[in-house]
Amino acid sequence: MPINVLFAAHEKRWAQYEAPLRTALDDIGVDYSLATDMPPAEVDYIVYAPNSPVQDFTPYTRLKAVLNLWAGVEDAVGNPTLKVPYARMVDDEGLTQGMVEWVTGHTLRHHLGMDAHIMNPDHKWVPDAPPVSADRPVGILGLGELGSACGQAIARLGFPVSGWARSQKQIGGITCHTGTDGLRAVLSQSQILILLLPSTPATENTLNAETLAMLPKGAFIINPGRGPLIDDDALLVALDSGHIAHATLDVFRVEPLPQDHPFWAHPRVTVTPHIASETRAPSASRAIAENIRRGEAGEPFLHLVDRDAGY
């Protein structure tokens, strides 16, 4: 009997994913049926976007796993009807590589002070050379798939990198911290701070008035993690006072960022429209197919979400 794989995401994703998913499923050698609609009681796996119309998993009585199309799971992890294993997306070639490029690019932009030269309408000649990377400590909050890869790439460029996670880590090139004291240690030395934490009740407002004050004066913030990691009002105060030199923000509490939000017009804020990194269909399809192969072979699924931790 074929395994039935339901693709539950917006229509435009189906156009991107159908062919790569079929290729990846063909490659693992299973007999399958893949569609955007099938009787719920016959579905074995759901390839899932949390904003899809599937919100009640109760009718999916023979479901074996739900496989997320992207890394963030905050919109589905608390769904009480989702009781089967739930895997988030880890896609090294696509998502992780894209994030490494985006984070490295914005880190170098702020490190080198590129804006002053690219936007210089008065043709000012200010020959202040930037420091070398060894003199620019960088901090990363969140040392998971993305944070550790970004931290290692930045460390390879010569920046001293410290990072913070829930559990203690050993990662080459990164001085790793945990706990409240660890957060203070990272913040107090980070001239550039990158946020790659998930959105959970525990991470909301990680950057607030108190923790922003721990950063060195003139620090830069880069947030490709999630909007709720930052208290927006506290950040605006810190930007207005000059304590924070600039914030490059890719994610927001409300997306698209409302037109009247002060971030749009703020001279020290760069808004990017949640494009830091995207799951790429060919490599993501291979990751999904590998989890289906594992499910069928009775092997443990990869990258399962910890429902208690919320990520």
Ligand X SMILES: NC(=O)c1ccc[n+]([C@@H]2O[C@H](COP(=O)([O-])OP(=O)(O)OC[C@H]3O[C@@H](n4cnc5c(N)ncnc54)[C@H](OP(=O)(O)O)[C@@H]3O)[C@@H](O)[C@H]2O)c1
| 276: contact with ligand X by CB under 6 A | yes
- Placement of tokens 């092997």 in the chain: 299
| 250: contact with ligand X by CB under 6 A | yes
Beta-strand ranges (E) seen in 209-292 are: 219-223, 244-249, 269-271
Question: Of the two residues 19 and 304, which places its CB atom closer to ligand X in the complex?
Answer: 304
Stretch that binds ligand X, among 154-162, 198-206, 209-217, 294-302 (CB under 6 A): 198-206
Question: Which of 254, 253, 256 is CA-nearest to residue 275?
Answer: 256
Question: Of the two residues 277 and 291, which places its CB atom closer to ligand X in the complex?
Answer: 277
Query: How far apart, in whole angstroms, are the C-alpha atoms of residue 54 and residue 41?
Result: 14
| 277: contact with ligand X by CB under 6 A | yes
Helix (H) or strand (E) holding 105: helix 97-112
| 280: contact with ligand X by CB under 6 A | no
| 199: contact with ligand X by CB under 6 A | yes
| 165: contact with ligand X by CB under 6 A | yes
Residue nearest to ligand X (CB): 144
Neighbours of 93 (CB within 10 A): 13
| 196: contact with ligand X by CB under 6 A | yes
**Do residues 59 and 53 lie in contact, with contact meaning Cβ atoms separated by under 8 Å?**
no
**Do residues 197 and 226 lie in contact, with contact meaning Cβ atoms separated by under 8 Å?**
yes
How far apart are CB 37 and ligand X at their closest, in Å? 28
Enter the DSSP assignment of 304: B
Is 38 in a helix, a strand, or coil?
coil
How far apart are CB 27 and ligand X at their closest, in Å? 24
Binding ligand X by CB under 6 A: which of 50, 147, 151, 228? Answer: 147
**Cβ density class 94-124: b for 16+ within 10 Å, e for less:** bbbbbbbebbbebbbbbbeeeeeeeeeeeee
Active site residues: 226, 274
| 166: contact with ligand X by CB under 6 A | yes
Tell me the HSE value of 296 on the side-chain side, using a 13 A CA sphere: 19
Stretch that binds ligand X, among 10-18, 126-134, 143-151, 154-162 (CB under 6 A): 143-151
Binding ligand X by CB under 6 A: which of 226, 246, 268, 286? Answer: 226
Stretch that binds ligand X, among 52-60, 186-194, 195-203, 233-241 (CB under 6 A): 195-203
| 139: contact with ligand X by CB under 6 A | no
Write out the binding residues for ligand X, residues 16-75 only, by CB under 6 A: 71-72
Question: Of the two residues 50 and 142, which places its CB atom closer to ligand X in the complex?
Answer: 142
Stretch that binds ligand X, among 33-41, 106-114, 159-167, 210-218 (CB under 6 A): 159-167
For 227, residues 6+ apart whose C-beta sits below 8 A from its C-beta are 199, 249, 251, 252, 253, 254, 255
Question: Of the two residues 167 and 259, which places its CB atom closer to ligand X in the complex?
Answer: 167
Burial (Cβ within 10 Å: 0-12, 13-18, ≥19) of residue 309: exposed
| 167: contact with ligand X by CB under 6 A | yes
Q: Which residues bind ligand X (CB under 6 A)?
A: 71-72, 95, 142-147, 164-167, 196-200, 202-203, 224-226, 250-251, 274, 276-277, 311
